[in-house]
Amino acid sequence: MDTSTRTAVVTGAGSGIGRAVALELLGAGWRVALAGRRTPTLEETAALAPGADALAVRADVSSPADVAALFSAVRDRFGRLDLLFNNAGTFGPGGVPVEDLDYDAWRHVVDTNLNGAFLCAQAAFRQMKEQDPRGGRIINNGSISAHTPRPHSIAYTATKHALTGLTKSLSLDGRPYRIACGQIDIGNAATDMTERMRSGIPQANGELAVEPVMDVADVARTVRHMAELPLEANVQFATVLATNMPYVGRG
C-alpha cells in the first residue's frame, strides 16, 4: 500500500490513544486529520510529527455541524478519505451508582461515545461511497467494557456495547461499496484515562486492586495493521489488553 496518498481521520487525537494512533499513521506516511475539542492539544500532536502531513480540526463529535465541517475540511484538503478511526470518548463520572447518576452526565457520555461515533461514521460512509476509487475503512474504538463492565460504569458500558452493534451494521451495510468496518477493544492502555489503574480501581468483588497497564504504542501498531490491510480483508474484532489484567476472569 502506498500510504503517502492515504488519508485518515482520527477523532480524539489530542491525547491518549488517539494521539498515539495519529502519530503511528503519520510516521508511516499517512496524511492525517486530527480532530478534537481543543485546538492546542491537536497542534501539540501535529508538532510531534514534524514534516508529516497533518491537519488539525477543532470538532466536537457530538455536534452534527462540527462533524460536517470536519469532513468538509478533509475533502477540501486531501480530496479523499481512506480511514476513520472513531476514537473520541469519555468515561463520564467515575464511581457513581446507577441510582445517583445525573441524567445530564448520562446524556453527555451517550452523545460523545455513541452519537459522536455514529455522526462521524455516517459522514465517512457518505464520502467513501461517493469518492473515486470508492471505498475505505472505519475502525471503532470499543473497549473491554464492550464485553464486560466495571462497577458503576453504566453509561460508558452501555455506549461501548452499542458500538459493537454500530460496527456490525456498518460492516454489513458497507459491503456493496468496499467500505470495511472493524472494532478494536482495548484494555488498560497506559494513558491519562487509565492513571487510576496504578493506584487501585474497584473490582467486581468490591475490593480495590492495582491493575497492570500496557504501552499505548502497542494499541497504535494494532490499529495501523488493521488500517493497512487491503479492503478485501478485515479484522472484524480485535482485543488488545494488558496481559495480566483481570478481564478473562473478571467477576
Residue 103 has pLDDT above 90, yes or no: yes
Query: Is 103 a catalytic site residue?
Result: no
Highest mean predicted confidence (pLDDT) among 82-96, 115-129, 144-158: 115-129
pLDDT value of residue 126: 98
Give the cell for residue 136.
475505505
Listed by start position, the domains of the chain span: 3-241
Cα radius of gyration rounded to whole Å, the chain: 17
pTM of the model: 0.93
Residue 248 has pLDDT above 80, yes or no: no
Q: What is the mean pLDDT of residues 230-237?
A: 98
**3-state SS of the chain?**
CCHHHCEEEEECCCCHHHHHHHHHHHHCCCEEEEEECCHHHHHHHHHCCCCCCEEEEECCCCCHHHHHHHHHHHHHHHCCCCEEEECCCCCCCCCCCHHHCCHHHHHHHHHHHHHHHHHHHHHHHHHHHHCCCCCEEEEEECCHHHCCCCCCCHHHHHHHHHHHHHHHHHHHHCHHHCEEEEEEEEECECCHHHHHHHCCEECCCCCEECCCCECHHHHHHHHHHHHCCCCCCCCCEEEEECCCCCCCCCC
Q: Which of 103, 156, 177, 247 is catalytic?
A: 156
Q: Cis omega (within 30 of 0) on the bond before 133?
A: yes
pLDDT value of residue 206: 82
Band (247; pLDDT cuts 50, 70, 90): confident
pLDDT value of residue 154: 94
Closest to 11 measured CA to CA, from 110, 89, 125, 126? 89
- Asked whether the beta carbons of 229 and 185 are under 8 A apart, the reply is no
Residue 228 has pLDDT above 90, yes or no: yes
- Residue type at 130? E
User: How many beta carbons lie within 10 A of that of residue 91, not counting itself?
Assistant: 18
- Asked whether the beta carbons of 34 and 57 are under 8 A apart, the reply is yes
Band (145; pLDDT cuts 50, 70, 90): confident
* pLDDT tens digit sequence for 207-217: 888 888 899 99
Residue 177 has pLDDT above 90, yes or no: yes
Q: Does the domain formed by 3-241 have CATH 3.40.50.720?
A: yes
pLDDT value of residue 105: 96
